[in-house]
């Protein structure tokens, strides 16, 4: 950029030339130099300071604020010394200081004119300034001798000072010209960058503008269109002429655009929402705005338009609506699951009473009793109802699982014969089971049920003409977006999964029924027959997995089950012994707590027949009251989880506050996993799920006593506890014989 006036070195150098010429004039041209001697010395003193100041500015350095005042002061002091006759004192400082200042000015100028771009005046500055430095030293040396100034020195100053000023002005002009050129180049570079930036924005943005003319005969002539048009459509604007522009519009929108053409021309319609077909045959959604510019005398109309590519917004909105539908579906299934789980819990209480009383009547009646067969039927129906309840719990994702690392492919292979029997003769079963399949953490029984239900469902999807059912397993790295169309667990972490895929070539699913296939008891088959998919979804959800369904009418259906891969190796499931400890009460006392009187009656009967003494309580508060009276005699507490007055967990904490060593067996219509979620307190000895058989209840009590035997209190401890409670409560005596 051009220099300011006060920062232009030529100005300072012009003042320096004027100062040295003024100093010479004061000395040589005035008749009585004594009168102006102080002025002459002062001007001579500030000359090198002005020369140095200009050199500093030329080299883009700062000028010390003290430089000129100090130089003027030294010059004035020299003048005063010369008036007093001390000529040596007046000339000696100038001989030392002033040439040094001129040499310093030459040094600063020389540091600025290095390089191939320096002009001749710039290169000549340093030699001339060095010459003047020598001239300065010679002048003061001559004056120091007391004689007159030689004529050669006078001519040197008269010719050298203006020459130096001319060179300095030329050098400054050349420097300013070079700075202007550099500033112009910088502006051009910034303009080019800004132009490129705007061009990039136009290319990368989702908008493009255009102008076109519509002739009276309907011919369209595009006058100009921005470059973003090619990026969006893949076409150059010169590839279209006349009526070809309409070919860009989606066929479903062309009729609507033609009908609106008249309104667009007269300005009644200024925006459109339409679809374009790109060169790659991709559909792009555009939001187009029009503005009428002018009407020509020939009847043509000029329009200016701007189009915004809103394809991503449209697809995002469609995706949002799809996810919203899936979320509502998941919430509906979840609410159905909670309802099913609650019903199953209450139903298990009823089944406990039915099964328990049936069992008691069977044991009390004679083998020849005519009602024995009916009791057996009641018992069988109740057990079947318990199985149905278990299926409901499975559907709700609340099934109790025994998870072990297992090979899903090996599991399918082991039940291959059962699968072949289930598909029937009219359907061919094909399997693809790799040997190196990673393990999954799963419940063998539940996953076997998943495979059987999916294969059965696939088989029944075929008509009498038959078809093919394919079962395959493979490992797959699943991305997060692949869970968008799946049902199952809410935890949708991407990563490695083992995928079970069951494909049929049957009739396929109606898209309107796809969202309902996982509802309990929903079926497209005859009454009483269902897909079994409700239980499949519950089991997969309980395993933290997902189900994906792909189907087309007349083509077939594919179910994919995604199960998280286990980091452990698949192990053979050891055979579990079902033997229970021989139930024997040995006179031990049990506190039985349940809010259902019928369940209390059945449980009490089971325990008394096993030899236990039984105290009963119909709720949490009643249990605490009984325990305060009879706590010293209680050997184990059988506690229901869900009670209306005081929950099982709260009752447990209160019992442990009264006596820390009392063993507790938890009983619930929920399974063990749900009970653990509801009952967060540790210290439970065993768990019994309703409906239970006598051996299950009594065996659990015996196991709890066995685990607690090593911590059994000494008799004196019991006596001490007995002293704190009343023993007035009656205890049921065990029968003399079972």
DSSP codes, 179-243:
HHHHHHHHHHHHHHHHHHHHHHHHHHSSEEEEEEEE-TTS-EEEEEE-THHHHHHS--GGG--GG
What average pLDDT does this structure show over 409-418? Answer: 81
In this prediction, residue 680 has a pLDDT band, given cuts at 50, 70 and 90, of: low
Do 38 and 162 share a domain, yes or no?
Answer: yes
Per-residue pLDDT at 589: 92
For residue 488, count other CB atoms closer than 10 A to its CB.
27
Per-residue pLDDT at 593: 93
The better pLDDT of the pair 192, 677 is held by: 192
Dihedral angle sign, alpha carbons of residues 290, 295, 298, 302: negative
pLDDT of residue 554 exceeding 90: no
Do 32 and 133 share a domain, yes or no?
Answer: yes
Beta-carbon contacts of residue 50 (< 8 Å; ≥ 6 apart): 12, 13, 15, 16, 19, 68
Among 340, 374, 395, the domain-final residue is 395
Residue 190 counted as domain residue:
no
Do 511 and 548 share a domain, yes or no?
Answer: yes
- Rounded CA gap, 642 and 345, in Å? 10
Residue 58 counted as domain residue:
yes
Which domain CATH number covers 245? 3.30.450.20
What average pLDDT does this structure show over 72-94? Answer: 73
- Rounded CA gap, 559 and 458, in Å? 9
Distance of CA 553 to the CA centre of its chain: 38
Residue 196 counted as domain residue:
no
Distance of CA 285 to the CA centre of its chain: 28
The better pLDDT of the pair 251, 193 is held by: 251
What average pLDDT does this structure show over 23-34? Answer: 63
Do 412 and 559 share a domain, yes or no?
Answer: yes
pLDDT of residue 536 exceeding 70: yes
Residue 241 counted as domain residue:
yes
For the chain, the domain total comes to 5
Do 603 and 526 share a domain, yes or no?
Answer: no
Radius of gyration of the chain (CA): 52
pLDDT of residue 65 exceeding 80: yes
In this prediction, residue 242 has a pLDDT band, given cuts at 50, 70 and 90, of: low
pLDDT of residue 429 exceeding 80: yes
Per-residue pLDDT at 146: 61
Per-residue pLDDT at 520: 67
φ, ψ of residue 10 to 5 degrees: the values are -60, -35
Which domain CATH number covers 631? 3.40.50.2300
Do 24 and 166 share a domain, yes or no?
Answer: yes
Least confident residue range of 199-213, 265-279, 364-378, 428-442 = 199-213
pLDDT, one tens digit per residue, over 308-351 is 888 888 888 888 887 787 777 677 767 766 776 677 767 777 88
In this prediction, residue 676 has a pLDDT band, given cuts at 50, 70 and 90, of: low
Distance of CA 76 to the CA centre of its chain: 79
For residue 45, count other CB atoms closer than 10 A to its CB.
27
pLDDT, one tens digit per residue, over 257-267 is 878 877 777 77
Per-residue pLDDT at 713: 44
pLDDT of residue 413 exceeding 70: yes
pLDDT of residue 6 exceeding 50: yes
What average pLDDT does this structure show over 452-459? Answer: 86
Residue 575 counted as domain residue:
no
> Within 13 Å and on the Cβ side, how many CA atoms surround 304?
4
In this prediction, residue 592 has a pLDDT band, given cuts at 50, 70 and 90, of: very high
Reference 698, options 348, 367, 359; nearest CA is 359
Reference 131, options 96, 97, 106; nearest CA is 106
Among 180, 195, 229, the domain-final residue is 180
Do 716 and 596 share a domain, yes or no?
Answer: yes
- Beta strands 556-564 and 495-504, pairing class: antiparallel
Least confident residue range of 104-113, 217-226, 385-394 = 385-394
Contact 604, 360 (CB under 8 A): no
Residue 296 counted as domain residue:
yes
Q: Is 154 left (phi over 0), alpha (psi -120 to 50) or beta?
A: alpha
Do 136 and 254 share a domain, yes or no?
Answer: no
Express as a percent the part of the chain with pLDDT over 70.
73
- Rounded CA gap, 121 and 9, in Å? 14
Per-residue pLDDT at 474: 92
Output the DSSP codes for 114-167: -STT--HHHHHHHHHHHHHHHHHHHHHHHHHTTSPPPHHHHHHHHHHHHHHHHH
Do 31 and 149 share a domain, yes or no?
Answer: yes
- Rounded CA gap, 19 and 47, in Å? 6
The better pLDDT of the pair 188, 298 is held by: 188
What average pLDDT does this structure show over 226-232? Answer: 77
In this prediction, residue 499 has a pLDDT band, given cuts at 50, 70 and 90, of: very high
Per-residue pLDDT at 397: 59
Token duo for residue 536: 């499949």
Output the DSSP codes for 379-395: HHHHHHHHHHHHHHHHH
pLDDT of residue 473 exceeding 90: yes
- Rounded CA gap, 135 and 20, in Å? 12
What average pLDDT does this structure show over 688-698? Answer: 84
Express as a percent the part of the chain with pLDDT over 90.
7
Reference 629, options 721, 718, 725; nearest CA is 725
Contact 672, 400 (CB under 8 A): yes
Residue 314 counted as domain residue:
no
Task: Find the DSSP H helices in 396-502.
Answer: 408-414, 416-423, 444-460
Do 342 and 435 share a domain, yes or no?
Answer: no
Per-residue pLDDT at 2: 43
Token duo for residue 566: 């286990």
Residue 507 domain boundaries: 404-564
What average pLDDT does this structure show over 173-184? Answer: 77
Do 364 and 440 share a domain, yes or no?
Answer: no
Cis check: omega of the bond before 691, within 30 degrees of 0: yes
**Coil, helix or strand for 612?**
coil
Per-residue pLDDT at 42: 77
Token duo for residue 728: 């007035």
Per-residue pLDDT at 55: 78
- Give the DSSP H/E element, type plus range, for residue 590: strand 589-593
292 beta partners: 303
Do 556 and 420 share a domain, yes or no?
Answer: yes
In this prediction, residue 579 has a pLDDT band, given cuts at 50, 70 and 90, of: very low
Q: What share of the chain is helix, strand, coil (3-state, %, to 5)?
A: 55, 15, 30
Reference 50, options 131, 167, 137, 165; nearest CA is 165
Residue 733 counted as domain residue:
no
> Within 13 Å and on the Cβ side, how many CA atoms surround 13?
26
pLDDT of residue 149 exceeding 70: no
Mean pLDDT of the chain: 75
Among 278, 309, 340, the domain-final residue is 309
Q: Is 611 left (phi over 0), alpha (psi -120 to 50) or beta?
A: left
């Amino acid at each position: 950029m051009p220099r300011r006036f006060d920062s232009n070195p030529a100005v300072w150098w012009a003042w320096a030339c004027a100062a040295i010429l003024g100093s010479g004039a004061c000395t040589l041209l005035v008749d009585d130099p004594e009168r102006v001697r102080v002025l002459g010395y002062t001007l001579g003193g500030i000359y090198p300071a002005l020369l140095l100041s200009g050199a500093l500015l030329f080299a883009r350095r700062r000028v010390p604020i003290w430089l000129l005042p100090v130089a003027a002061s030294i010059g004035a002091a020299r003048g005063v010394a010369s008036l007093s006759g001390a000529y040596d004192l007046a000339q000696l400082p100038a001989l030392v200081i002033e040439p040094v200042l001129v040499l310093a000015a030459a040094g600063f100028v020389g540091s600025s004119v290095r390089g191939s771009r320096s002009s001749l005046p710039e290169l000549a500055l340093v030699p001339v300034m060095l010459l003047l430095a020598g001239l300065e030293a010679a002048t003061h040396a001559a004056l120091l001798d007391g004689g007159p100034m030689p004529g050669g020195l006078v001519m040197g100053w008269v010719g050298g000072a203006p020459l130096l000023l001319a060179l300095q002005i030329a050098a400054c002009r050349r420097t300013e010209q070079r700075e202007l050129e550099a500033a112009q180049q910088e502006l051009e570079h910034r303009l080019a960058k800004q132009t490129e930036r705007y061009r990039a924005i136009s290319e990368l943005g989702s908008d493009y503008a255009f102008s076109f003319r519509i002739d009276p005969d309907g011919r369209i002539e595009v006058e100009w269109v921005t470059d973003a048009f090619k990026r969006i459509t893949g076409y150059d604007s010169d590839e279209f002429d006349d009526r070809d522009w309409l070919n860009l519009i989606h066929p479903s929108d062309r009729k609507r655009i033609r009908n609106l053409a008249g309104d667009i021309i007269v300005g009644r319609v200024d925006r459109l929402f339409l679809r374009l077909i790109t060169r790659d045959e991709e559909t792009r959604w555009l939001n187009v705005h029009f503005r009428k510019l002018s009407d020509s005398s020939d009847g043509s109309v000029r329009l200016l338009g701007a189009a915004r590519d809103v394809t991503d917004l449209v697809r995002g909105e469609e995706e949002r609506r799809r996810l919203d539908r899936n979320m509502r579906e998941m919430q509906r299934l979840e609410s159905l699951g909670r309802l099913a789980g609650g019903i199953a819990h209450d139903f298990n209480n009823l089944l406990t009473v039915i099964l328990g009383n049936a069992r008691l009547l069977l044991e009390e009646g004679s083998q020849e009793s005519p009602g024995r067969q009916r009791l057996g039927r009641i018992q069988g129906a109740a057990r079947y109802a318990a199985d149905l309840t278990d299926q409901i719990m499975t559907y709700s994702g609340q099934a109790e699982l025994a998870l072990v690392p297992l090979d899903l492919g090996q599991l399918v292979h082991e039940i291959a014969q059962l699968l072949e029997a289930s598909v029937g003769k009219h359907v061919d079963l094909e399997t693809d089971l790799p040997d190196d399949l990673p393990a999954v953490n799963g419940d063998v029984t539940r996953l076997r049920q998943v495979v059987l239900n999916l294969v059965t469902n696939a088989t029944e999807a075929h008509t009498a003409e038959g078809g093919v059912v394919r079962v395959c397993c493979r490992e797959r790295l699943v991305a997060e977006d692949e869970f968008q169309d799946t049902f199952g667990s809410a935890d949708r972490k991407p990563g490695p999964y083992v995928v079970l895929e069951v494909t049929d070539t049957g009739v396929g699913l109606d898209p309107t029924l796809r969202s309902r296939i996982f509802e309990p008891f929903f079926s497209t088959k005859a009454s009483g027959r269902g897909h079994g998919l409700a239980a499949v979804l519950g089991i997969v959800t309980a395993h933290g997995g997902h189900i994906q369904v792909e189907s087309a009418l007349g083509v077939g259906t594919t179910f994919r089950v995604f199960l998280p891969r286990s980091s452990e190796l698949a192990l053979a499931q050891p055979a579990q012994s079902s033997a229970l400890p021989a139930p024997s009460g040995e006179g031990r006392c049990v506190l039985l707590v349940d809010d259902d009187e019928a369940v209390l009656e059945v449980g009490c009967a089971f325990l008394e027949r096993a030899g236990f003494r039984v105290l009963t309580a119909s709720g949490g508060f009643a249990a605490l009251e009984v325990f305060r009276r009879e706590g010293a005699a209680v050997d184990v507490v059988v506690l229901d989880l869900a009670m209306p007055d005081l929950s099982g967990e709260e009752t447990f904490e209160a019992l442990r506050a009264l006596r820390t060593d009392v063993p507790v067996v938890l009983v619930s219509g929920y399974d063990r996993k749900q009970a653990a979620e509801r009952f967060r307190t540790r210290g439970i000895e065993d768990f019994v799920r309703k409906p239970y058989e006598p051996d299950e209840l009594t065996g659990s009590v015996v196991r709890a006593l066995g685990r607690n035997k090593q911590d059994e209190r000494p008799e004196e401890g019991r006596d001490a506890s007995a002293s704190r409670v009343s023993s007035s409560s009656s205890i049921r005596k065990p029968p003399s014989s079972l």
